[in-house]
Structure 1
Amino acid sequence: MAKIVALHYFAVVTRCTSLRDAATQLDIHPNVLARHISQLEYYMNAPLIERSPLGIRLTAAGELLAAKLDRTINELDHVVRLIDDLKGLRGGLVGVHAAEGVASAILVPVLAAFAIRHPHVRARLRTGTAKDAVRAIEDASCDLALTFFAPASDAIAVIRRVRLPQFIIAPPDHPVTRAGGTACAALERYRWVLPGPEFGVRSYIERAAAEAGCRIVPTFEAASLDLQRTLIEQAGALGVLPRAAVAEEIAAGTMVAVPFPETMPVETSLDLCIPAARQPSYAAERLRRDLEGALARVQP
């Protein structure tokens, strides 16, 4: 147990510039932290950090340990959850990684109902790209991922895939809502807000536009869904999102969802992914079933 505690402490040290800063984050005395690091160095038979008046830096051995540490700790946490399951403790933690465009529309309602039925289960939520989701599954920091265009990986299994059309999301009085407003020449003139090129959805939009002989250049790049909404409302920009992502705004009349022209269909793949080889915990298995049910009910 002492070695596990020392590993947790070292993980914090790797993100700090001094032992004092790390000790403050851990809420322990710096001497206690230094003792744990010394014990870990003794166990590894190698120095892990170098101290100087300017702070600390990792040695080559420390860099090597740090590179493997997050995944090791996540795997240990996963084993703890499985042991709790064996003891009949229906609690624990489930990690979920989601594309922000569907997190609030699909994931949050499922989690809200899940929390009522399983009040002792905690959920750790992360958002990001499809590549981020795969990495999170690979390093065991999440149990489930809901993402667009999951890349091929031996570490994940796609257990549910739904086709989800993307719409042009616009203010209600925008020219794109009028007759001829979605013609290619018109689309090229508008202001757009799109996620960065690291997102699969962005690549798909650009490819679909190019195949239709159209070039869409974003005026704004924003990964945050809240920023995209704000730029649509206040800057008159056009976004590209599933209708469900702005369902409340559409119902309130502050935004409209305009279909892309038939010559430029933008339809994405929404994938529910799990680890290919890691045994799911009780909480992860129950949440997976709930998400599968929600995806079966998704309306384009």
Structure 2
Amino acid sequence: METTIVIDGVSHVFETSDRKTELKIKAETTPSEDKKPKQLPLPNVWLVTRNNGVPLFALKPAASDIQFRILTAEKLYEAKRQWFEPLADNYRKMIWVNPESQTAGSESYSAYKHFTWAQIIKFAVVDRMSISFAPKMPGDWKNSAEGGAKFLIVMIEGKPYWSDAVGQIPFATDTYRLYFEETKQLEASILKTVETGMKYGDGLPVFPKEDFSNEYDNYMVLRGALWASENFELRVEKVRVFAGRMGYREKIVTSTVYRGASDQKLRSSITQDSVQKYGVWQK
């Protein structure tokens, strides 16, 4: 199988065979007396593949990186590189996505579990107990059958994400709602959500490992909190509750109600303004 990718205005052909992908370069003959090897014209690109060699997407390396690599998605994940939060550490710009990733039944399509943002929202708006976001619990989106289903990468409306990054969104949504009902203050709830995400950086409810890094995890928590702040409104109402021999009494009940305003904050990377305002991991 051959895959053609245009990099810096030049077409390059990659050949996949026997579970391995290689760059095809046209050979040039040189005089036999030449002793200095001819430099091969390698493109500046990291081509990311499945374990079977099928190309998935390509990233632009940083100036300090090795400029040409062909590596599996697993190796890229181990290196902690990401392409969806430009202000977070280890960002590399995505410059190509295999167009067959949108063709059901293709090798590149089956590398991902596919979603719409509406499906992510449907999972995120379910009101859950905080403990349910612990690893392998019902709120653990990346492992849930309704969520990432243990896929390393997922595709949301044509754009790949690390599955664990998307998993921060339901956690952030639920946590924001909890603090919003408690404090009744929008911005304070966003900050407390980010702080909670950092405190439980590894997702464990007991003896958690804190995460004050500039990695994408904290950015995705903030992305979820910002989205929730635009899409939930506070409802305060009086209800009558039974008080035994005293009969009934009135009680104030505060809740959050999903109003489905916009999904734009989920689609959009975090801006510098938002980092300055809510990025407490940098302070």
TM-score (norm 1): 0.27
The structure that is strand-richer by fraction is 2
Specify which structure has the bigger relative contact order, considering alpha-carbon pairs within 8 angstroms and separated by 6 or more residues.
1
The structure that is helix-richer by fraction is 1
TM-score (norm 2): 0.28
